[in-house]
Structure 1
Amino acid sequence: MLSRVAQNVYWLARYVERAEDTARLISVTTNLLLDLPRTARTTEWEPLIYITGSQESFFDRFSKADEFSVVSFLTGDLQNSGSILSALTYARENLRTTRDAMPREAWEELNEVYLFVRDNLANGVSPRGRDYFLKQIIRGCQRFNGFLEGTMSHTQARHFVLLGRYMERADMSTRILDVRSANLLPREGELTPYTNIQWMSVLRSMSAYQAYRQQVRSRVRGSDVLHFLLQDEHFPRTVAHALLSIADCLRGLPRAETAIGCVHRSLQAVHDADVDALAYANLHQFIDDLQIGLGQIHEAISATYFTYQEKDDKTAERLEVTAKI
C-alpha cells in the first residue's frame, strides 16, 4: 500500500468524523438554548469556537461570537478549514484520489452529502431549517461509515480508516470535555436545573446520553459524566474506547511499536486518573496532557507510515508503507 494512499485514507476518515461531530455540536447547542433562560443564551455559542480550535481565525474576522457568526463560520465558511463544508470538501478530494481502494457506494454517499451541504447552506444558518440540515449531515456521514463497515475488505486500507476515525473522535471528545467542563465544574454541587441540562448537552454532543443513563441510574452529575466519557471502554465515543481501538488497529500494521507505546501511555493515564478529584481541580491540565499524548500518537503514525523518503525522482511517490502484508 502506498504511503500516499494510506495518508489520504487516514485523513478522509478524520474529515468525515469532523464534519459529523461539528454538525452534532451545532445541533445540540441549538436545542440547548431552548431550555436555558434568555440571559444565558448569548454565551453558549462561543465555546463551540474553542472546541473546534478555530478561535484565532474566527476572532480575526468577527468581533463577537453571536449565533449567526458562529453557525455560518462552522457550517459553510471555506476560509475556516474546520467548517463542515471544508471538512467534506477535503474528505471528498481524498476519497476521489483513492477510489480504487474504497467501495463505490462510499464515494456515492459522500458525494451526495457534500452536494447537499454545498447547495443548502442557507438552511443551515437559518434556525428554521437548521435541524433538518444538520440531521442530514449526521445521517449522511453515518451512512458513509456504514458502507465502509459493510463492504470494505479488512485490509490495510481499513486499518487506516479506523485509525483516522478514532483519532479524530478522541480529539473531539477531549476538546468538548475541556471547554464545557471549564464552565460547569466550578458549580458542581449546586442544585440548579441549568447545570444538569448543560451536562446533558455534553453527553448529547457525543450521542452518549442514552448509554450514560443505562450505566448511571441517577441524575446527571459532572463527575459521573467525566467518569463515563473518559473511562468507559464499551461506548464508541469515549476516550478510553477510542484509544483501545487505535491500539487494535496499530497491531494489524507492522513497525507500529512506537505508536502503540504512545497509545498505551495515554490509555494508562486515563485509567489511572482520579476523576472525582479532577472534577474539582486540574482537569484542564489533565486534558492538555491527553491532547499532547494524542499529538504524539499522530506524529508517530505519520512518521512511520506517511513520510516520503525520497530515493530518486521516479520512486519517491511510490514508496510503500511496509513490506506487503
Structure 2
Amino acid sequence: MLSRIAESLFWIGRYVERADDTARIVDAQVQRILEDPWLDEAEACGSLMAVMGTPTDRVAGPLNRRVLLDTLAYDPVAPSSIAGSLAAARENARRAREVVSSEMWEVLNTTYYAIPTRVRAASAHRFAGWVRERAAVVTGIADSTMSRDAGYQFLVLGRSLERADMTARLLATTVLEAGPTWQTILHSCGAYEAFLRTYRGGRSGGRSDTQAAEFLLLDRLFPRSVVNALATAERCLEDLDPDAGRVGYADDARRTLAWTRGQLEFRSPAELLEDLPVEMERVQQAVSRVSDAVSRRYFPMGAGVEWVPEAM
C-alpha cells in the first residue's frame, strides 16, 4: 500500500473519531452550564478549552458558551473543532478515493456540505447528536464495506488512538470544579446502560463515582474505555507487522502502547484515581508519541529531488 493512502486512512479514522468525541465532550459541558445556574460559565468554558488544548489568550471578550461552541464546534478550519475535523476527514478521503468505498466517500462528502445548514438550524445539543450519528454511519460503512487488509488496519489504528486520547480528556474534565458529573460522562460516552449492567446498577455516593471511573478507564470489553482503545491499537500494529522478533518490540509504537496499557492495568484503580489528571496527561502524551512513531515508520516524507546535470 502506498504510504500516502495509508496516511489518509489513518487520519480519516482520527478525524472522524475526534469530531464524534469532541461533540460528546462539548455537549456534556454545555448541558452542565445550562442546568446549573450557580456555575461560573467563564470558568467552565475556560477549563474545558484548556483540557482540549485550545488556547484562550486569543479569545476577544469574555468566555461563554457561544465562544466555546464557535471554537470547538463550528470553526470550519481548526483541526481540533468538530467542523474542521469533518472537513479534514473528507479531504483525506478525497486523496484516497481509489481505496475508499463510494458509500464512505458519499457519507463524508454529504456530511461536510451539510454542516453549515446544521449549524444555522439546530441547537448545540441537536448539532452534537447529528455529529454522533454521522460518525456512527461512517464507522458502520467502513466496517461493512472495507476488506480487513492493511488499509482497514490503518483506519482502525487512527480511530483507536484518537479514542484513547479523547476519552482521557473527557475523564480529565471530571476533576474540574465546573466539570460534568460522572453520570453525565457515562451518558456522553454511550456507556450508561453498559455500566449499569456491568455493576448491577452500581451504588450511590462516592463508590459509584469510583466504579464509573474504573469502567471508562479499565474495562476490557467496553469499546470506549482507555484500555480497550489502547489494546485495539496494539492489535492493529501487530497485524501490520506480525513479526515482533524474539526479544521485546523493535517497533517504538507497540512498545509505547504496551507500556502505557500496562501502567494502567497493573496498578490499583485507587492509585490511578488519586491523581487522575496527571495519569490522563500521560495517556495523551503516549498517544502523541505513538502517532509520531507510526508516521516515521509508515508515512515517511519524500526526500527532496535534486537535479544533477548530465555529464558531457
Which TM bucket (shorter chain)?
A: 0.7 to 0.9
Indicate whether 1:214 and 2:197 are aligned.
yes
Distance 1:202 1:41 in 2: 19
Name 1:188's counterpart in structure 2.
none
Gaps of 5+ in 2: 245-249, 308-312
The one-letter code of the counterpart of 1:238 is: S
Aligned CA distance change for structure 1 residues 40 and 101 (closer, same or farther; 3 Å): same
1:259-274 alignment runs, 5 A limit: 259-274=253-268
Displacement of 1:294 in angstroms is 1.6
Aligned CA distance change for structure 1 residues 271 and 253 (closer, same or farther; 3 Å): same
- Given that 1:50 and 1:179 are in contact with CA atoms closer than 8 Å, whether structure 2 keeps it comes out as no
Name 2:276's counterpart in structure 1.
283
The one-letter code of the counterpart of 1:26 is: V
Distance 1:79 1:95 in 2: 17
Name 2:94's counterpart in structure 1.
96
Equivalent of residue 225 in structure 1, options 206, 209, 212: 212
Aligned CA distance change for structure 1 residues 79 and 8 (closer, same or farther; 3 Å): closer
Equivalent position SS for 1:310? coil
The farther-off stretch of 197-206 and 165-174 is 197-206
Name 2:85's counterpart in structure 1.
87
**Aligned-residue CA RMSD (Å):** 2.3
The one-letter code of the counterpart of 1:235 is: F
Equivalent position SS for 2:166? helix
1:25-62, Cα deviation, whole Å (9 max, x unpaired): 222233334543x01162433333123211x1x43123
Distance 1:44 1:311 in 2: 47
Distance 1:270 1:52 in 2: 22
Displacement of 1:79 in angstroms is 5.0
Indicate whether 1:168 and 2:151 are aligned.
no
Indicate whether 1:306 and 2:299 are aligned.
yes
Equivalent position SS for 1:224? helix
Indicate whether 1:59 and 2:65 are aligned.
no
Displacement of 1:173 in angstroms is 0.8
Q: Provide the TM-score with structure 2 as the length reference.
A: 0.87
1:1-325 alignment runs, 5 A limit: 1-36=1-36, 38-40=37-39, 42=41, 43-54=43-54, 56=55, 58-124=56-122, 129-183=123-177, 198-216=181-199, 217-219=202-204, 221-254=208-241, 257-258=250-251, 259-280=253-274, 282-310=275-303
- Given that 1:5 and 1:98 are in contact with CA atoms closer than 8 Å, whether structure 2 keeps it comes out as yes
Aligned CA distance change for structure 1 residues 91 and 163 (closer, same or farther; 3 Å): same
Distance 2:191 2:45 in 1: 21
Displacement of 1:235 in angstroms is 0.3
Equivalent position SS for 1:233? coil
Displacement of 1:73 in angstroms is 1.4
1:149-185, Cα deviation, whole Å (9 max, x unpaired): 011111110000000100000000111112322438x
Distance 2:63 2:196 in 1: 32
Gaps of 5+ in 1: 185-194, 315-325
Aligned CA distance change for structure 1 residues 305 and 313 (closer, same or farther; 3 Å): farther
Displacement of 1:230 in angstroms is 1.0
Distance 1:18 1:234 in 2: 21
Equivalent position SS for 2:63? coil
Displacement of 1:228 in angstroms is 1.0
Displacement of 1:312 in angstroms is 5.7
- Given that 2:16 and 2:85 are in contact with CA atoms closer than 8 Å, whether structure 1 keeps it comes out as yes
Distance 1:132 1:178 in 2: 25
- Identity among equivalent pairs (%): 27
- Given that 2:163 and 2:224 are in contact with CA atoms closer than 8 Å, whether structure 1 keeps it comes out as yes
Displacement of 1:75 in angstroms is 1.7
Distance 1:109 1:313 in 2: 41
Displacement of 1:310 in angstroms is 3.0
The one-letter code of the counterpart of 1:236 is: P
Distance 2:46 2:304 in 1: 48
Name 1:317's counterpart in structure 2.
none
Distance 1:230 1:12 in 2: 25
The one-letter code of the counterpart of 2:277 is: H
